[in-house]
Structure 1
Amino acid sequence: MSTPNPSALDVLDQQRFSRFHARALITTGMGVFTDGYDLISISVVLPMVLHSFGVDRLTGTQSSLLVASALLASAAGAIVFGVISNAGRKRFYGIDVMLMAIAALAQAFCGSIGMLIAARTLLGFGIGADYVLSPMIMAEHSNAKDRGKALTVGFSLMWVLGAISAALLQIALEYFHVPPDLQWRITLGAGVIPAGAVILLRRRLPETPRYYAHIKGDGAALKAVVAQVAGADVAAQTQAEGSLSAGMREYFARYWRRFAMISLLWFVYDIVIYAGGLFGPSLLGKSVGLTPAEFQLVNSAIFSVCGSIVAVLLIDRWGRKPLQAWGFVLMGAMLGLYAYSYHPGSSAPLWGITLYGLFFFFNQAGPGSISGAGMLGVEMAATRVRGLVQGLSVAAGRLGAALGVFVFPRLFQDYGQSFAVAFLAGTALIGAALTLVGIPETRRVSLEKASGETVV
């Protein structure tokens, strides 16, 4: 060590990735796995759900409400849990997945679209809470060198694996000729399994060191966390920081433009990815000759997983800003090519699958692992305002997602597939421009330096 009494947080930032970090990643990541499963499962069973309740059109108001209900509720859940997270990150960790477990199981017993919308509203509230708590806790426990990789694996990749699981289960049920009305109920209700499995693990995860240092000002508790990560001997030599004096008003006055940009980027990103991701399996999969579950599986298992691997390899080397900017540009390029070169009935289906798959690849290699993983909010906001900024940015993203799932099917119905997909391409290019002008680079620096907390 370079000093006889190093800072406790500096010691944690300099630790190598350890068993403690792996356990924290799995514990937080399993909630994100559940998020991915629950949000995508509706896309692979949407036609069956609507048919079961006598609705024939995928582009109607009821289908949009069914998809958007969880998204709108997650905005509310994100803000509520973002505000109360300053009373303790761990204190509320587990409540989010408990809400998701109850709501996921309730979906299996719904007797009308209205009841299903209500169940998915509760589900969305829990998902919104988890979108705030999981990346924030993951980041506050991570070391500086590997924080980007931890967030990419724990949020981005785990979300994709949840989506893959939803598609695989649906394909298996179809293979065994389970009746359609039972298929969608099992697929949606199975979200209770990963949610329930992680509740106990979350209660055992310690409170984050940043919360103890900068909000509660509990030096003894901070050293106890250092002992778990680096050992008791190291913890005994560290100097525990006290809480910082600046409050929310001071941080917002200094950094409000940055916080607004974080929210705007997530808003723009979610318009693109949720419109394309949730309705793609139902509306676009048909045009390339795949069922919704098959379409989702191809894009997630092949293209999205590969994109996540690229992000893991580059996020802490190349940096957040170039990955996100280039990701947005290439997402827009793939969607633009799809809109103007793929024509159902006359173009080769493999061409359409490849272009749409590359859209998902560049998403996961870029903004899906950064803005879409909540990385900007947790890295660029000081500890005292991190929960609120993350809550506001998640809410902005959910509103963008809800807008996308209402606007995209309407554009698809009124103006055709090419126009609807071209709209998403243009939105992705806006995201690239905003990234280049609106955010700083945060790779391999402490959360205190990335957020500006050390200079307030």
Structure 2
Amino acid sequence: MEARDLRHPSTFAHLDRSRWNTFHWKSVLTTGMGVLTDGYDLSSIGVVLPFILASFGQKSLTGWESSGLTGSALVGAALGALAFGPLANRGRKRFYGLDVLILSIAALAQAFVQNIPELIAVRFVLGFGVGADYVLSPVIMGENANARDRGKSLALGFGLTWGLGAALAGLVTLFLNAWGVPSDIVWRIVLALGALPSASVIYLRRKLPETPRYVARVQGDELAFERVVAHVVGEVGPHAHVPVQRDDTSARTYFRSHRKRIAAACVLWFLFDIVAYSSILFGPNLIAKSLGIPSGVFQVMMELAFTVPGALIGLALIDRLGRKPMQVIGFVGMGLSLILFSVMKSVDAAPWIGLLLYGAQNLMSQMGPGSVSASGMLGVELIPTKIRGTVQGWTVAAGRLGAAITAFVFPHLFARMGEGGAILMLGGLCGVAAVLTWILLPETKALSLEEAAEESVA
């Protein structure tokens, strides 16, 4: 397959060379608020889980009720991604806004459940919206971005905003507790407030134009392409009057030629989420309890002192150092931090040492694979426009499957192997993921999306 170099005229050259502008900021806000909601919704359950179980007379943090509450949204997200992946191939913006509408309604409904099974069911629906958002948002953001800033766009819209949403969940919980709100009301308020950020961008998402790459490569509509490029770039000029060629390569051909890339993107996100969600779902309870720190305080400390700074480092380096080095360094750093944490627990070291080591895992996580794999970057950059939606759905589902395995297995692993053994196993998985990244992942920094995806361009 032949891809054009940005130094030569191409359909998307002006788009790829454009400066970061008002449209890009608006795009980050519109997509980022949905991701902030995802971070808030998926993290808040870990913070308020003890309140929920106590409210319904359950005492165990390692029982099936706990696993169902933490895992149902993740199973829903996997199915939502698989459903919305093919839909995204029928139009990126066609279903955009429906995802956050689902999120808003389900988040609000959590406040009115009467028992744990009802909450599990509502969170499954909420997860369905999360999965849809993780398909649509990175694809839209990536297809609108310029080549130089595409990594920063995805890292900002996903890595940073997700961490801010998770931190917000902890802060809201701390505030309500400090205000003296009864614990059986706290969890309902915390979960329901997830409706606000997602509802705020429903209108903005419906108003976003179709992406220029979808218009050109899938629809083959030259007039619509001229209009949308002018909208994205922020000016009307001769750059828009270039030939538009629809991609007539069959989807089957692309699935066959890109099968190794598809497998790499799925496996790497799967491995990352197994490790990451052990911290997201159970860190505020099992890990925090072992360190003697209240769950809300632990959540806020992890996010603001480690995860958000890690996202900022990733944001600064992703388009300079590259995707592959950032992910390898991140996985290696995660693995070393977790292994040292496990050793620390075995020698009964001071809790502050454990806090720093576990925090370092969060920093390296968000700096590396949290800003690459978990931002949806691999499914966007490695895959041609024609099948990007479907494959993005597969990669998201693979990640959520890994997270769901964590939700249902990690508490029992923690109880059976002990904290040190469970954490040591996670550190080993990080080492495996680092090696696979080095072997399987091609570098895509500064390339046009067509070059990065090895898309057939005449």
Q: Which residue number in structure 2 is paired with residue 305 of structure 1?
A: 308
Q: Which residue number in structure 1 is paired with residue 399 of structure 2?
A: 397
2:379 partner letter = G
The share of aligned pairs that are identical, in percent, is 49
Question: Are the structure 2 counterparts of residues 209 and 181 from structure 1 closer, same or farther at C-alpha, using a change threshold of 3 Å?
Answer: same
Offset of residue 348 of structure 1: 1.3
Q: Which residue number in structure 1 is paired with residue 318 of structure 2?
A: 315
Question: Are the structure 2 counterparts of residues 237 and 412 from structure 1 closer, same or farther at C-alpha, using a change threshold of 3 Å?
Answer: closer
Q: Which residue number in structure 2 is paired with residue 422 of structure 1?
A: 424
SS at match of 1:416: helix
Mapped to 2, the partners of 1:234 and 1:36 lie a distance apart of 40
Are 2:385 and 1:374 aligned?
A: no
SS at match of 1:174: helix
Query: Which of 406, 409, 434 is the aligned partner of 1:407?
Result: 409
Question: Are the structure 2 counterparts of residues 280 and 355 from structure 1 closer, same or farther at C-alpha, using a change threshold of 3 Å?
Answer: same
* Cα offsets for 1:273-328 (capped at 9, x unmatched): 00122101110101222111111110101111111111111100110001101100
Query: Which of 205, 208, 214 is the aligned partner of 2:208?
Result: 205
Offset of residue 80 of structure 1: 0.7
Are 2:444 and 1:446 aligned?
A: no
Mapped to 1, the partners of 2:165 and 2:211 lie a distance apart of 26
1:315 partner letter = I
Mapped to 1, the partners of 2:177 and 2:184 lie a distance apart of 11
Q: Which residue number in structure 1 is paired with residue 85 of structure 2?
A: 82
Query: Which of 151, 154, 179 is the aligned partner of 1:148?
Result: 151
1:341 partner letter = M
* Cα offsets for 1:186-208 (capped at 9, x unmatched): 00000110011010110111110
Q: Which residue number in structure 1 is paired with residue 39 of structure 2?
A: 36
Counterpart contact for 1:213–1:241, Cα < 8 Å: yes
Query: Which of 131, 135, 138 is the aligned partner of 1:135?
Result: 138
1:102 partner letter = I
Query: Please, which runs of 5 or more residues in structure 2 have no aligned partner?
Result: none
Offset of residue 6 of structure 1: 4.5
Q: Which residue number in structure 1 is paired with residue 71 of structure 2?
A: 68
Q: Which residue number in structure 2 is paired with residue 431 of structure 1?
A: 433
Q: Which residue number in structure 1 is paired with residue 25 of structure 2?
A: 22
SS at match of 2:94: helix
- How large is the RMSD of aligned CA atoms in angstroms? 1.6
TM-score by length of 1: 0.97
Offset of residue 349 of structure 1: 1.4
Q: Which residue number in structure 2 is paired with residue 111 of structure 1?
A: 114
Mapped to 2, the partners of 1:455 and 1:413 lie a distance apart of 54
Counterpart contact for 1:8–1:223, Cα < 8 Å: no
Offset of residue 236 of structure 1: 5.8
Mapped to 1, the partners of 2:135 and 2:239 lie a distance apart of 32
* Cα offsets for 1:42-61 (capped at 9, x unmatched): 00000000111111000011
2:246 partner letter = S
Offset of residue 454 of structure 1: 3.3
Counterpart contact for 1:135–1:378, Cα < 8 Å: yes
Counterpart contact for 1:89–1:137, Cα < 8 Å: yes
Q: Which residue number in structure 1 is paired with residue 101 of structure 2?
A: 98
Query: Which of 54, 74, 82 is the aligned partner of 1:51?
Result: 54
Mapped to 2, the partners of 1:236 and 1:267 lie a distance apart of 41
Mapped to 2, the partners of 1:237 and 1:336 lie a distance apart of 54
2:125 partner letter = L
Query: Which of 243, 250, 254 is the aligned partner of 1:251?
Result: 254
Mapped to 2, the partners of 1:135 and 1:231 lie a distance apart of 21
Question: Are the structure 2 counterparts of residues 260 and 174 from structure 1 closer, same or farther at C-alpha, using a change threshold of 3 Å?
Answer: same
SS at match of 1:368: coil
Mapped to 2, the partners of 1:164 and 1:284 lie a distance apart of 17
Counterpart contact for 1:43–1:278, Cα < 8 Å: yes
Mapped to 2, the partners of 1:155 and 1:236 lie a distance apart of 30
* Cα offsets for 1:349-376 (capped at 9, x unmatched): 1111100100000001100100111110
2:306 partner letter = F
Q: Which residue number in structure 2 is paired with residue 214 of structure 1?
A: 217
Counterpart contact for 1:107–1:188, Cα < 8 Å: yes
Q: How many pairs does the alignment contain?
A: 453
* Cα offsets for 1:188-241 (capped at 9, x unmatched): 000110011010110111110011011111111111011113345425653042
Counterpart contact for 1:100–1:126, Cα < 8 Å: yes
Counterpart contact for 1:32–1:159, Cα < 8 Å: yes
Mapped to 1, the partners of 2:319 and 2:169 lie a distance apart of 30
Mapped to 1, the partners of 2:233 and 2:342 lie a distance apart of 53
Mapped to 2, the partners of 1:234 and 1:304 lie a distance apart of 42
Mapped to 2, the partners of 1:294 and 1:417 lie a distance apart of 20
Mapped to 1, the partners of 2:267 and 2:338 lie a distance apart of 21
Mapped to 2, the partners of 1:176 and 1:343 lie a distance apart of 38
Counterpart contact for 2:81–2:131, Cα < 8 Å: yes
SS at match of 1:91: coil
Mapped to 2, the partners of 1:238 and 1:441 lie a distance apart of 31
1:227 partner letter = A
Query: Which of 321, 335, 340 is the aligned partner of 1:337?
Result: 340
SS at match of 2:279: helix
Mapped to 2, the partners of 1:343 and 1:291 lie a distance apart of 22
SS at match of 2:293: coil
* Cα offsets for 1:374-394 (capped at 9, x unmatched): 110110000011001100011
Offset of residue 256 of structure 1: 0.5
Counterpart contact for 2:144–2:232, Cα < 8 Å: no
* Cα offsets for 1:224-263 (capped at 9, x unmatched): 0111133454256530422111121010111111101110
Mapped to 2, the partners of 1:343 and 1:282 lie a distance apart of 19
Counterpart contact for 1:88–1:207, Cα < 8 Å: yes
